[in-house]
Structure 1
């Protein structure tokens, strides 16, 4: 047996003397067999990994290649790497702005050949190095981050989108229900080849909250009617301007007007005089005014040109076009099995007069029609499903990825994820490792795992509930109640929301939480890792924790936290313990036993886990931690012959 002891403080001579939390393990001597848990994975990146933007050179794959042997020696069995496909922002894209699925850093587009992480050849070298088994070394599996929910585009990908135009003019009201507007700022309204003369453009708002001050219903109106492009010059709307014969003359082509929707019946009208044979281009952006600042607004507050009059004719029905960045074309792909697809508006929500966009929901449920990132793929389309399945097969057969992490699985229906998983070629006659990012409650995560299982697909899930508890354990110090660990997370949940440990990936930090300071672990990282590296579930280490990389808030660089260099040694000790000794079920002794005094259960956590059977010596060995009264506090007593106990405590 193997006992885990976590304690916060001890008492000396009737006064409290606070000590750093420490972790105590009890081991036995002897050789063990090879069935201990060799399952530790590493998230081998973090947000905004370094890149040479000036030379357009990514070197992250090279960095990982240089660490392959070291990671093997540490006992890492798998790494999770960022999305390898070319992103919409080229050399700076972290991979989540996915653009071209078959460009892994070998086609010149979006301003660079390489991705932020390097070239395709460097990626292939890295994968081969991790998987190398020469000289009987253990391989490291490589899991790619996969985005199945969306594809990004930019202005160069603009096209006329009749489905979005109709959706906006329906004001997102479909089949008797109000849905979420298409983001106002992601539509460019175009009157192609406008004739010379005066145009009266009426702007309307919809899905706005008119119970609040007008400051919350602001918008920018930009109009280019002389092929001038847009500039930073702005002026304010002037009243009266109610769209009923009253209007503001637009100041100049390319400028903008700042305005408000005062009430439900408000329609603002603006006049431009076009020179002829030029497109009239209209952009609308939701804004909010606060303390005199003109701030970015919720873009699902809808604004659109409800009418455009020229020579007595309303042009919105027959001529006006709604352009979206949904026409995605790429250089000719020349590699084996690389597809030369083109994407257009028909592949993204809303696709027709029956389709709609949802919001972020009332909790953390599946939100398959929600346009949260880029162009939201219509994952109900057979063509979209087949394309994504084909891509997954290519990543396995051509790029040799061992498994995958699925990004934002809340964003699409479970059957779509299951079909994608089931389409992958097996590995050693088994389904490949899959873990989904469901950032939500234990109930929703369990539902997702079980639903995929019902569709014949096995997938693990990240333990976000446990992450929350472990962050408090590390950050709160003496204010943390250790009893919260008794049933923390998905594996030990006792409220009917348990998930098998084989389907749970535990972690302390990841690239998303690592870029937002309010989610960080800021001290005592070893406590969180002591938990996940000795408990059930598959632990995932975070690259900055293993290599001492300072975390910095992505929105405010003033927030940062340094990772102590000593943490790596502590992690290596824990890795050795897990890979050498641990296996089997776990019992929390401080819960089922009788701490004395009883109220001190909030200050100590003791768990016992089955250890591996020695290949020599007795067929079983029980090493226990007992408690005895000592000045009103608990003290561990280690039973066993000399040499069979190792006391490993944090400095």
Structure 2
């Protein structure tokens, strides 16, 4: 079966601790429509306790087990509920990807004096002060966990920088001095050097830090029976770190551990370089494709649909691409807001779910809706597309990118898809294979009625409505 991922969260989920149970209750239904991989939110305790979405990492070993940061459970539930939900997913033939956040930590237990230099936030290579001492929140001792699973205690030697001086109550970017410390060089060049993102920046070049994070990752894979990872904030971490970490984890566990990383950049050449530098060992989200969808959304009928694949990762490294329409960062109100609205949302999903390039990832907020953003669910529409992918999106692909406003493609298992971005619909004669001659196709989306009969040469005349999408599939005979 085609690999199909769902990002199983959005930013503004309720903080009632019910999410792991929601997953447990919905695993079978998701499996039934063809979802076979779930990317779950960060499951460990954040600095915000039960209100933390998961990216303000406090304790990687606390999966909702210890009374830390004001609660035992995380935003999503308890450790036992998490493990039970993964068990249920596995029972329904769904693999689970854990969200791995190793760029920073937050919510330290104590401060210590650290020698620093202040840097220009717009050019982190530019030092704008002499060396001096600040009081930094860098001591992580996890007293409530009391050394269970690990007795490792974090201190300033394990970090590169912070953004707060408790002594002067000053917010700035402070780079640590001493022990040969410096920003990682193999990171994104935005802001001169984009090693520092937020909170207390982990020094991944430290062998002591690496050994502890490898030990933690092996513990995590075993205790949660993980099937893979989603890696956060790749552009802020030297590429060598994750290349080595993922290889080491795979070699030690002898598990395939499918992995996809988030490198947020619209320049496909930067993503290509990252894939090459990491020797193609894991996938990367196709951010440029997302922005092509956004441009199509904003420009409407002025957008040339033949350019959807231009300068995308799927156009050069499809085997290393994970495609998506939106996610928790692009949803309204978030840091990378770039929302694909309903004028093009389902055309975009038709594109990623029925084509051969890349592995598609469906966003929880699209599927189940987002009440906090007054966004209605598209579950019924997406179920139709997911079923088309599950049953028919196989075999040779034939492209018909011969018109600026209606493009189509076919798959020889028995699928013909079209999308349009103008008020007038239209038809295309498309080849689905001579072996399907005399077979009948119907539009699984329900947008166009009737049947299409394939001629003796393997062609059919397939229709799409204006500003719409259609996925014609062969009628299954009982």
Q: Answer whether TM exceeds 0.5 for this pair.
A: yes
Q: Does 1:604 align with 2:406?
A: yes
Does the 8 Å contact 1:582/1:609 carry over to 2? yes
Mark the CA change 1:62 to 1:426 in structure 2 (over 3 Å): closer, same or farther: farther
What CA distance in whole angstroms lies between the structure 2 residues aligned with 1:578 and 1:625? Answer: 11
TM-score norm. by structure 1 comes to 0.59
* 5+ long unaligned stretches in structure 2: 161-175, 419-423, 448-478
Deviation, structure 1 residue 391: 1.0
* Aligned with residue 381 of structure 2, among 570, 586, 598: 570
Deviations 1:490-514 (A, max 9, x none): 112xxxxx11x23111000000001
What CA distance in whole angstroms lies between the structure 2 residues aligned with 1:131 and 1:522? Answer: 33
Q: Does 1:442 align with 2:271?
A: no
Does the 8 Å contact 1:438/1:462 carry over to 2? yes
Residue 440 of structure 2: aligned partner: 644
Residue 213 of structure 2: aligned partner: 388
* 5+ long unaligned stretches in structure 1: 1-36, 53-57, 133-137, 182-206, 208-301, 307-315, 493-497, 553-560, 592-600, 613-622, 627-631
Q: Secondary structure at the match of 1:579?
A: helix
Q: Secondary structure at the match of 1:422?
A: helix
Deviation, structure 1 residue 584: 4.2
Deviations 1:525-564 (A, max 9, x none): 2111000001121100011111122463xxxxxxxx523x
Mark the CA change 1:103 to 1:178 in structure 2 (over 3 Å): closer, same or farther: closer
What CA distance in whole angstroms lies between the structure 1 residues aligned with 2:124 and 2:62? Answer: 39
What CA distance in whole angstroms lies between the structure 2 residues aligned with 1:393 and 1:82? Answer: 19
* Aligned with residue 247 of structure 2, among 406, 419, 422: 422
* Aligned with residue 519 of structure 1, among 313, 338, 350: 338
Deviations 1:241-296 (A, max 9, x none): xxxxxxxxxxxxxxxxxxxxxxxxxxxxxxxxxxxxxxxxxxxxxxxxxxxxxxxx
RMSD of equivalent CA atoms: 3.2
Deviation, structure 1 residue 635: 3.2
* Aligned with residue 102 of structure 1, among 43, 52, 61: 61
Residue 39 of structure 1: aligned partner: 3
* Aligned with residue 549 of structure 1, among 361, 367, 370: 370
Mark the CA change 1:545 to 1:625 in structure 2 (over 3 Å): closer, same or farther: closer
Does the 8 Å contact 2:353/2:386 carry over to 1? yes
Q: Secondary structure at the match of 1:66?
A: helix
Mark the CA change 1:366 to 1:151 in structure 2 (over 3 Å): closer, same or farther: farther
Deviations 1:550-588 (A, max 9, x none): 463xxxxxxxx523x4x2222111111111122245342
What CA distance in whole angstroms lies between the structure 1 residues aligned with 2:97 and 2:62? Answer: 18
Does the 8 Å contact 1:107/1:113 carry over to 2? yes
Does the 8 Å contact 2:184/2:237 carry over to 1? no
* Aligned with residue 487 of structure 1, among 296, 299, 310: 310
Q: Which has the larger radius of gyration?
A: 1
Deviation, structure 1 residue 435: 0.4
Residue 508 of structure 1: aligned partner: 325
Q: Does 1:326 align with 2:138?
A: yes
Deviations 1:313-355 (A, max 9, x none): xxx8xxxx5210001111364797x112101001111251643
Does the 8 Å contact 1:404/1:434 carry over to 2? yes
Q: Secondary structure at the match of 1:106?
A: coil
Deviation, structure 1 residue 178: 8.1
Residue 179 of structure 1: aligned partner: 125
Q: Would you say how many aligned residue pairs link Structure 1 and Structure 2?
A: 416
Deviation, structure 1 residue 179: 2.9
Residue 210 of structure 1: aligned partner: none
TM-score norm. by structure 2 comes to 0.79
Deviation, structure 1 residue 366: 10
Higher relative contact order (CA 8 A, sep 6+): 1
- Mapping of residues 153-172 of structure 1, within 5 Å: 153-154=107-108, 156-161=109-114, 163-164=115-116, 167-168=117-118
Mark the CA change 1:633 to 1:385 in structure 2 (over 3 Å): closer, same or farther: closer
Does the 8 Å contact 1:367/1:410 carry over to 2? no
What CA distance in whole angstroms lies between the structure 2 residues aligned with 1:92 and 1:633? Answer: 47
* Aligned with residue 467 of structure 1, among 290, 306, 314: 290
What CA distance in whole angstroms lies between the structure 2 residues aligned with 1:520 and 1:323? Answer: 40
Deviation, structure 1 residue 488: 5.7
What CA distance in whole angstroms lies between the structure 1 residues aligned with 2:416 and 2:260? Answer: 35
